[in-house]
């Protein structure tokens, strides 16, 4: 394929166990007003009919390609898509979500008109059936164009989700030359978002809620606590050290790290296990150097308790 026929955008769709939601996601992509894109369907060893749905879609949509692989998790599926992408820009869409018709068009024009490395839009939470919630919930960025580093402080703002997630954005492919999602980890977005924004010279934001995040039971973010959920603390620890190494304000990240840790420890106390105790114990040394400035007195006391005592004792094992 010549450079002249390469797609402007590669949309990467990681797929696992979403046969109920995948057709609606694909239909929302087909309805895009922007058409110069390829669709990379990464079937991550899905145990249901998702792989068949992908194959049937690709048979009738020339811009779609299917990659079948053994299960590697969301990070592995995204990384496979990145490696296969041929577009000037990359976008990620979770296969149980929906996008509005102007999603790609809006972000592409923001990047092209402003020579931006990244563009992002607002997010609307929707019900499991795809309908609007009775009380609408939005995560909206501040509209305008900024340096990526200037937006790092927005990671802890009211619209934080719109900045830190992978899937409401369009990225210039050069941002991914050396960056990949951590294989086998949850909270993979938190592990790379700060590095993407740090590397982006210009990021343009639209407050239009063009991405619809489906709230459903059984999703990765809405299941009972298990050791892998502490990967989010690892990601925030990495962000904390990254900020410090690059002379960026790190207090907000330190607070977020402690609060995530304490929340998960509290959840672990409700369903204790040896595996959870081991995961908490492994994090204790790494957290020792993270300041507690900005935490409430109750939070500081809780942090000291979880740091001082053996997790097996605290979990009453």
Tokens of 9: 């955008």
Cα distance between residue 107 and residue 104, in whole Å: 5
Q: Is the pLDDT of residue 1 over 50?
A: no
3-state secondary structure string across 100-138: CCCHHHHHHHHHHHHCCCEEEEEEEEECCCCCEEEEEEE
pLDDT reported for residue 223: 60
More confident residue, 235 or 157: 235
Cβ partners under 8 Å of residue 285, min gap 6: none
Least confident of 19-33, 102-116, 213-227, 254-268: 213-227
Average pLDDT over residues 96-113: 98
Q: Is the pLDDT of residue 3 over 70?
A: no
**What value does the mean pLDDT of the chain take?**
94
- Give the up-direction half-sphere exposure of residue 129: CA atoms within 13 A in the CB hemisphere: 4
pLDDT reported for residue 267: 92
Cα distance between residue 72 and residue 109, in whole Å: 33
284 confidence band (pLDDT: 50, 70, 90): very high
User: Which residue, among 232, 203, 2, has the nearest Cα to 107 in the 3D structure?
Assistant: 203
Q: Is the pLDDT of residue 309 over 90?
A: no
More confident residue, 308 or 176: 176
pLDDT reported for residue 69: 98
Residues 214-253: pLDDT tens digits? 998 755 455 689 999 999 999 999 999 999 999 999 999 9
Average pLDDT over residues 139-148: 96
pLDDT reported for residue 82: 98
2 confidence band (pLDDT: 50, 70, 90): very low
pLDDT reported for residue 216: 84
Q: Is the pLDDT of residue 62 over 70?
A: yes
Tokens of 184: 């086998």
Average pLDDT over residues 170-199: 96
């Amino acid at each position: 394929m010549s450079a002249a026929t390469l797609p402007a955008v590669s949309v990467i769709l990681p797929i696992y166990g979403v046969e109920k939601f995948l057709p609606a996601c694909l239909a929302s992509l087909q309805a895009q007003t922007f058409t110069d894109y390829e669709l990379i369907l990464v079937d991550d060893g899905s145990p249901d009919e998702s792989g068949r749905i992908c194959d049937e879609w690709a048979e009738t949509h020339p811009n779609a390609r299917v990659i079948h692989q053994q299960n590697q998790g969301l990070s592995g599926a995204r990384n496979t898509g990145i490696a296969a992408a041929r577009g000037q820009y990359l976008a990620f869409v979770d296969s149980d979500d929906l996008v509005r018709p102007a999603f790609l068009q809006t972000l592409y024009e923001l990047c092209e008109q402003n020579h931006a490395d990244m563009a992002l839009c607002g997010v609307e939470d929707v019900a499991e059936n795809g309908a609007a919630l009775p009380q609408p919930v939005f995560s909206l960025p501040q509209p305008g164009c900024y340096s990526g580093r200037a937006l790092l402080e927005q990671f802890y703002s009211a619209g934080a989700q719109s900045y830190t997630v992978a899937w409401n954005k369009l990225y210039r492919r050069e941002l991914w030359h050396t960056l990949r999602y951590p294989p086998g980890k949850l909270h993979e977005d938190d592990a790379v978002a700060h590095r993407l924004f740090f590397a982006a010279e210009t990021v343009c934001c639209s407050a239009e809620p063009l991405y619809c995040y489906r709230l459903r039971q059984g999703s990765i973010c809405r299941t009972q606590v298990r050791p892998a959920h502490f990967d989010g603390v690892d990601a925030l620890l990495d962000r904390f050290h990254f900020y410090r190494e690059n002379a960026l304000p790190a207090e907000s990240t330190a607070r977020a790290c402690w609060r995530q840790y304490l929340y998960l420890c509290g959840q672990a106390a409700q369903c204790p296990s040896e595996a959870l105790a081991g995961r908490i114990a492994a994090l204790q040394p790494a957290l020792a150097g993270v300041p507690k400035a900005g935490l409430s007195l109750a939070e500081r006391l809780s942090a000291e308790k979880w740091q001082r005592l053996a997790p097996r004792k605290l979990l009453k094992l």
